[in-house]
Amino acid sequence: MEDVLLLIVVIPLIAGLFVLAMPARSHGVIRAIGLIGALIPACFALAAYLAFDQRQINLQFPFTTTWMSIANAYNSLTLHINLGFGVDGISMPLVMLVGVVSTLTMIRSFKVTERVKSHYFWLLFLTMGMYGVFAASGIFTFFFFLESTLVAGYLLINIWGGEKRHYAATKFLIYRGLASVVLLAGLIGLAYVYASTAQAASNSVFIPNAPNFLTFSISQLLTEAQLIHIPAASQDVLFLVFLLAVLMEEAFVPFHTWLPDTHEQSDTGTNMMIGGALMKIGLYVMLRFAVSMLPLGLAHYATWLAVLGLVSILYGAIVAIASKDWRRLIAFSSISHMGLVLLAIGSMQEIGIQGAVFMLVSSGLLTALLFFTVGAQADRTGTYKIENLGGLSKSLPVISGVMLVAALGSVGLPGLSGFISEFSLFVGGFAAFPTLSALASLSMILAAFYLLWAMQRTTFGPANQALPDMVDADVIEYVPMVILVALVVLLGVFPGVLGDVVHGTAQAIAARIGG
């Protein structure tokens, strides 16, 4: 089990290289390789998930290899950079999420007929990047994989997207590119401030594994975060840097406009990947670095987080009402949901942290499912415009039914994964910000409004005469739908399967932030 994370990250890349080696016309082989290349890591991820020791709060399945050192990187300290992987209760579920989403995306992308080879290569590359981001145990490793998602996402949007794909891809690139450089600045600053603090505190506090103080290892930083407190002023500055990065990365209002455009222009597979897994990175960063390592900064800006969260919640929900395109609607809906996570993180409650992970996983699954069904509809009707659809339940009962499940899950219906996420987040929110949370709870009504209204206009009512004759879901489409629905129900009915993994880590974080 030691190298399982390495395998998880590397296999998609190897599969990608195999894809490149195939002749461009052998679509079947390429698709098979793509599927296998995503399925095997997903199975490994599942194995790791099952073997995960929930009582241990350190990073598990550690894999580390020394890479290089920079002398005098900080005063006379040498910076040793390791490449490594490791997961804890926050990243393990997200690794699993990547496994699920990527595998199903591969299946869905069987439908892609244009430039199949490149498509699968970049999908696999993106898969590798997302695994790496969540599994990384070093700042450098993390950043490398973050940037690789940028390249892959850019090309996926740009080649297989809709009419304005170049514009959307550029927006995606610039926003996420800016976010990543801001993030890098924050990460390096974090390591430096920890180094200087650790050095200063080394006389009074014993810090294990820190002969050199300067470290880029996430697990070491997490350990140090429990032992020493970096100066409040530095925490504030660094927290703001991270916050800015996260706002752009996670498309919070007012840095959100790239997300609807991206989703509107991407093809279904890409949307599943972006909406299902890529869009969890920002808040993961928030939890992993800003919350875990900058507790005083968090305490200082907690109210700001809550307010920003609230703005995104309401803004996203209201604009979603007026959205004319399903994909934009889903994008705004996810902005709204992620705002809730921000609000809950601001509450600094353990349950809020736990709910955050729940929401990341849940919204990942539901967003992927929504994009899948919406895409399946569009494959048949040729349009994503809500006003052009109608009465689809008649001709596409299965797809419409699954879509309804996804919509209800997003609305937060109990029994599906969305409920327990929303509930935990709101408990956290109300504990700290009753008024803001009360306002935020309006989004529960608004969500029901925009999703069910859109459902009513597309799947209910008399069939739109302009639509062509349609055949309901085929076997290939059943697989992702069934798996996603099953997972959504599983998480809704037995949230313990996720909660047990998250619990220990959430507790540790909460202890650190005094929640």
Task: Scan residues 156-185 and list those touching another protein (CB under 8 A).
Answer: 158-159, 166, 169-171, 173-174, 177-178, 180-182, 184-185
φ, ψ of residue 83 in degrees (nearest 5) = -100, 130
List, in sequence order, every beta strand (DSSP E) within 39-99: 60-74, 77-87
* 3-state helix vs strand vs coil in the chain, percent to 5: 75, 5, 20
Restricting to residues 339-398, which ones interact with another protein according to CB under 8 A? 347-351, 354-355, 391, 393-394
79 forms part of the interface with another protein (CB under 8 A): yes
Minimum distance, C-beta of residue 107 to another protein, in the bound complex (Å): 22
| SS3 label, residue 170 | helix
Minimum distance, C-beta of residue 197 to another protein, in the bound complex (Å): 15
Contact present, 319 and 388 (Cβ < 8 Å): no
In this chain, which stretch among 92-100, 200-208, 256-264, 277-285 interacts with another protein, using CB under 8 A? Answer: 256-264
**CB-wise, 10 or 448, nearer to another protein?**
448
Minimum distance, C-beta of residue 118 to another protein, in the bound complex (Å): 7
Specify the amino acid at residue 132.
G
81 - beta bridge partners?
68
68 forms part of the interface with another protein (CB under 8 A): yes
**CB-wise, 36 or 427, nearer to another protein?**
427
Axis-axis angle for helices 165-201, 258-265 (nearest 10): 130
Burial 244-280 (b: 16+ CB within 10 A, else e): bbbbbbbbbbebbebbbbbbbbbbbbbbbbbbbbbbb
**CB-wise, 286 or 451, nearer to another protein?**
451
For residue 343, count other CB atoms closer than 10 A to its CB: 30
268 forms part of the interface with another protein (CB under 8 A): no
Contact present, 151 and 142 (Cβ < 8 Å): no
The binder of another protein chosen from 69, 162, 466, 482 (CB under 8 A): 69
Neighbouring residues of 485: CB distance < 8 A, sequence distance ≥ 6: 369, 402, 405
Minimum distance, C-beta of residue 399 to another protein, in the bound complex (Å): 14
The binder of another protein chosen from 118, 127, 312, 373 (CB under 8 A): 118
**CB-wise, 279 or 319, nearer to another protein?**
319
Give the span between the Cα atoms of 333 and 448, in whole angstroms. Answer: 11
φ, ψ of residue 206 in degrees (nearest 5) = -85, 120
**CB-wise, 276 or 309, nearer to another protein?**
309
**CB-wise, 40 or 246, nearer to another protein?**
246
Minimum distance, C-beta of residue 506 to another protein, in the bound complex (Å): 7
Minimum distance, C-beta of residue 350 to another protein, in the bound complex (Å): 5
Residue with tokens 């599906």: 416
**CB-wise, 36 or 500, nearer to another protein?**
500
Give the span between the Cα atoms of 178 and 182, in whole angstroms. Answer: 6
User: What binding mask, one character per residue, do residues 477-506 give for another protein by CB under 8 A, x or -?
Assistant: -----------------xxx--xx--x--x
Restricting to residues 411-470, which ones interact with another protein according to CB under 8 A? 411, 413-415, 419-420, 423-424, 426-427, 430-434, 437-438, 441-442, 444-446, 448-449, 452-453, 455-456, 459-463
# chain residues binding another protein, by CB under 8 A: 107
Restricting to residues 36-55, which ones interact with another protein according to CB under 8 A? none
Minimum distance, C-beta of residue 201 to another protein, in the bound complex (Å): 20
Neighbouring residues of 265: CB distance < 8 A, sequence distance ≥ 6: 157, 161, 162, 163, 164, 165, 167, 168, 169
φ, ψ of residue 86 in degrees (nearest 5) = 175, 145
**CB-wise, 14 or 159, nearer to another protein?**
159
For residue 65, count other CB atoms closer than 10 A to its CB: 10
Minimum distance, C-beta of residue 267 to another protein, in the bound complex (Å): 14
Residue with tokens 């190897």: 14
**CB-wise, 36 or 439, nearer to another protein?**
439
Give the span between the Cα atoms of 219 and 90, in whole angstroms. Answer: 13
Minimum distance, C-beta of residue 468 to another protein, in the bound complex (Å): 18
Minimum distance, C-beta of residue 1 to another protein, in the bound complex (Å): 25
Contact present, 85 and 141 (Cβ < 8 Å): yes
Give the span between the Cα atoms of 344 and 92, in whole angstroms. Answer: 20
* Peptide bond just before 254 cis, omega within 30 deg: yes
322 forms part of the interface with another protein (CB under 8 A): yes
Minimum distance, C-beta of residue 499 to another protein, in the bound complex (Å): 5
DSSP state of 385: B
188 forms part of the interface with another protein (CB under 8 A): yes
User: What binding mask, one character per residue, do residues 270-289 give for another protein by CB under 8 A, x or -?
Assistant: --------------------
Helices (H), 323-349: 326-347
67 forms part of the interface with another protein (CB under 8 A): yes
**CB-wise, 103 or 261, nearer to another protein?**
261
**CB-wise, 49 or 74, nearer to another protein?**
74
Contact present, 239 and 298 (Cβ < 8 Å): yes
